[in-house]
Amino acid sequence: MTRDAERILTEPADIDRLKALIAALPNGARVELQFEDGHRLRAIVTVRPTLQVFRDAAGGEGANALVRVEEPALEAPESAAVHDIWLDRVRHVTQLSPAHWSGQTD
């Protein structure tokens, strides 16, 4: 894994936010990730993120984390994909129940 990140976080509040996101992303969780740009991704967590120290392009050190998720092909096998996502880009994590995962509601 790389030790370089496009963005690093150094403020305690930002690091606390990363820690809260990490707690919401256990292995095997079915989640919907909402990103800072507003788009969403439904996926399964395959590798739980851990807070790590990275360097940015200027050589500064700070924290970030990568989460690996699998976007399953629910109806289109060609759309299945694995993504490594920088956690600082995620704004919100929603846990999905099996019913919500398949598009059904209670």
Which pLDDT belongs to residue 104?
Answer: 46
Structural domains of the chain ordered from first start: 12-101 (2.30.30.720)
Tell me the mean pLDDT in the region 3-12: 94
Q: How far apart, in whole angstroms, are the C-alpha atoms of residue 50 and residue 57? A: 21
58-90 residue pLDDT tens: 999 999 999 999 988 766 677 788 999 999 999
Of all residues in the chain, the percent with pLDDT exceeding 70 is 88
Confidence of residue 53 (pLDDT cuts 50, 70, 90): very high
Please tell me the predicted confidence (pLDDT) of residue 80: 83
pLDDT confidence of residue 76: 64
Nearest to 92 by CA among 46, 14, 29, 31: 31
